[in-house]
Each structure stands twice: as structure tokens, then as C-alpha cells.
Amino acid sequence: MRGADIQQLGMFSYVSVDERVPGDHPIRKLRMLVDTILKELDELLASRYAPGGRLSIPPERLLRASLLQVVYSVRSERLLMEQLNYNLLFRWFVGLNIDDPVWDHSTFSFNRDRLFDAEIAQRFFAHTVLLARLGELVSDEHFSVDGSLLEAWASHRSFRPKDGSDDGDGSDFRGQKRSNDTHASTTDPDARLARKGQGQQARLAYLANALMENRHGLLVGVDVRHATGTGERDGALALVDAHLHRGATLGADKGYDVRDFVGQLKQRGIKAHIARNTANGRRSAIDGRTARGKGYAISLQVRKRIEQGFGWVKTVGDLRKLPLVGLAKVSAWVHWNFAAYNLIRLGGIGEWWNPSPT
């Protein structure tokens, strides 16, 4: 017999938010990883608050909510608060009970801006790498590096002469000579006009470099800087100095096949496994003996996995167009997105993480 569609909703529930989240849901493992890192950051978080005064939003909840914003592609704080209002999974992950009020989006943004900076983001990212090392998921032998332009939150119209001269409203700049030496964005002065390659559109952007350990494709280092012609190689050397030891290998694409860069790696005792650029009769900086090696071929094949990280943070994550301005804030948000990528990968690598005795 067909049941009646009676719209008499219950007023009470005896099921907790935790029971609403399936026991095998992958976000449970993500929550365990995040809580482990937050415990390690407790002293740093406590230093950001005065001992007295009104109670603020707990910093752990701010950071968990910010992580959800990246992992679930929530494009604004307003939409994030809307999700927290009715999404029980979001409430459980952040730490809100079913009857707890949700913050106003402007209050959430204000509190997070006070708390969130490059130091916290970098420390959080570093702890994702530490968790991987504890699980023996990374080694100190084989790495890959790559860089990518991240479009700044600024338009071409904001790119105006530094000397204050009038060049119109910025909408029509045909025939004008515009460069980073003579112009700067009024919206984001730290952004630089750059393009990825010949024939491609120039955009106001920042440059993000990432260092990947080849075993499981986890990122162990991130460098964010102004977009310049040598920024990729400069950022790669900074990551090498910070994370690599003598004898390690470094894979990279043809853009890094520059004699000076390869020479810098040799001085540091790093084996350059860089794709050879021999287009138009050009002579590669990688000698034929290295290129014939079996390890070289493996490095070139594995290094392509680093593109997965950049692809994830630009599609699932929040780096397709940067939502923040200024190098310091951009660096913090880039580290946060790559930390989320590492956590997603850590949560999907077997059953290595099991903090409970059972």
C-alpha cells in the first residue's frame, strides 16, 4: 500500500553528528591527520591570542573550515558558511554540534585574517611532510621540480605607470610599451606581468615552484615569489638548498635545461635529470652519458606526476585565480592549498595511518 506523504517534521533527534558521517568515509582519515597536525601547532596558535578578553572563534575550527573550503571547492566564505549551516558532514569536520550557531561570513573572514599568515601555513605544510616521513612514504634520493604561474587578483586595467602619468583608463593599451620596470598594478603591487611561453597571453601573476619526492608524488617543498624570467630556476635552487642532499637526483622539464642551472646543481652534488632541449639545433646542458642512463629515463617518466599537484590546486583547490593580494598572503594561501593536496594523497595511500591501538 502506498504511504502518505505527510510533511510533519520531527523537532528532536537523538542521533549525533558523528553518527551521521559513515565510518568508512574518507574524510574521517583526513580529520585524524588534521587534528594530529593541529595538536603540534597548539603552542604557535596560543601565541596569537591575548590571555584575556572575549572568547574568539577557536583557531582549530577556523583552520578546519579553511581546509574544507579548499578540499570541497567552496569559492567564497559566504558559501562556506551556508554549507556549515545545513551540511552535517561539514559541521562534524569543523567541530560544530548540530545546534551550534554558524558564524557570519564577515566575522569568519575577519578572525581568519587575524590568525592566518605565512608562518602558520608553512608550518602546517611542513607537518604534512613530517607525517609522510613518519609513515616512511618519502625518501631523500629522487625528486622532481616544476613551476607554474598563478593568476593574480588584478586586471590589466590596474597596470598603470609608476610615475603617475596618464595613459587613459587602462582599457586600451595597444601600441603602448608596458613592462614591470615602468608599470605596476594598483590593485596588487606585488603581482608581475608574465607569460608562460612565447605566443601566450601575458597576465599579472605570481610564480609558484613545487618540489616533489618521486616515490609517492608527495610535495616536500613550496616556493612562492615574484614572476620573473628566471623565477622558476631561482625557486628551484632555493628548494634544492632547503631540502636536497648531495647525491640526490632532480628531474625537471626542458625549461630547466640551462647550462648555468645545471652547473649550479653539479656544484651542490645534485644529479640533474632534466629533459634535454635540443630544438632548433640547440645544444643541451645534459650530456649524452647521463641521458642514456636508466635512472635518467625513470626520472623523466616520474617527474610528470608533479603536474597532478598543480592541476589539483587549480581545479579542485583555490589557485585557478588567486583570491588574495600581496606576496605574503599569496604565499600563505599557496602553501595551504598544497598542504591540502598532500593530506588528500596521504589519506589515499593504503592503510599506513592508524593512530588507534586497534
Percent of the chain at pLDDT > 70 equals 91
Closest CA to 57 of 22, 25, 94: 94
Backbone angles phi, psi at 219, to 5 degrees: -90, 130
Cα–Cα distance measured from residue 46 to residue 224, given in angstroms and rounded to the nearest whole number:
27
Query: At CB < 8 A and 24+ separation, what contacts does 34-41 make?
Result: 34/63, 34/64, 34/67, 34/343, 35/60, 36/131, 36/355, 37/124, 37/127, 37/128, 37/131, 38/63, 38/64, 40/127, 41/120, 41/123, 41/124, 41/127
**Which amino acid does the sequence have at 317?**
G
What pLDDT was estimated at residue 103? 92
* Residue 23: per-residue pLDDT: 86
Q: Does residue 226 register a pLDDT over 70?
A: yes
| 3-class DSSP state of 276 | coil
Question: What are the tens digits of pLDDT across the range 166-208?
Answer: 666 555 556 567 788 888 899 999 999 988 777 778 889 999 9
Residue 357: pLDDT band by 50, 70, 90 thresholds? very low
Is residue 115's pLDDT more than 90?
Answer: no
Measured CA to CA, the distance from residue 25 to residue 17 in angstroms comes to 14
Render pLDDT for 312-342 as a digit per residue (tens, 0 to 9). Answer: 999 999 999 999 999 999 999 999 999 999 9
Q: Which residues of 295-308 are buried (b: 16+ CB within 10 A; e: fewer)?
A: ebeebbebbebbee
Q: What is the pLDDT of residue 17?
A: 82
Q: Distance of CA 166 to CAs 173, 176, 177, 243, Å? A: 12, 12, 14, 47
Cβ–Cβ < 8 Å for 250, 242 = no
331 and 338 in contact (C-beta within 8 Å)? no
* 206 closest CA partner among 66, 321, 74: 321
Is pLDDT above 50 for 358?
no
Q: If you search the block for the grid coordinates 625528486, which residue do you land on? A: 143
Residues found in the chain: 358
Domains and CATH numbers, the chain: 17-116 (no CATH), 139-161+179-321 (3.30.420.10)
At residue 206, what are phi and psi to the nearest 5 degrees?
Answer: -120, 165
Q: pLDDT band for position 353 (50/70/90)?
A: very low
Q: Could you count the other beta carbons within 10 Å of the beta carbon of residue 311?
A: 13
Helix ranges, the chain (H): 17-20, 26-40, 42-46, 59-71, 77-86, 88-94, 105-115, 118-134, 231-243, 259-267, 288-291, 294-302, 306-315, 327-348
- Of 155-159, 199-203, 218-222, 225-229, the one with minimum mean pLDDT is 199-203
* pLDDT score at 355: 45
SS3 207: strand
How many other CB atoms are found less than 10 A from the CB of residue 79? 14
Is the pLDDT at 127 greater than 70, yes or no?
yes
CA distance 254 to 263: 15
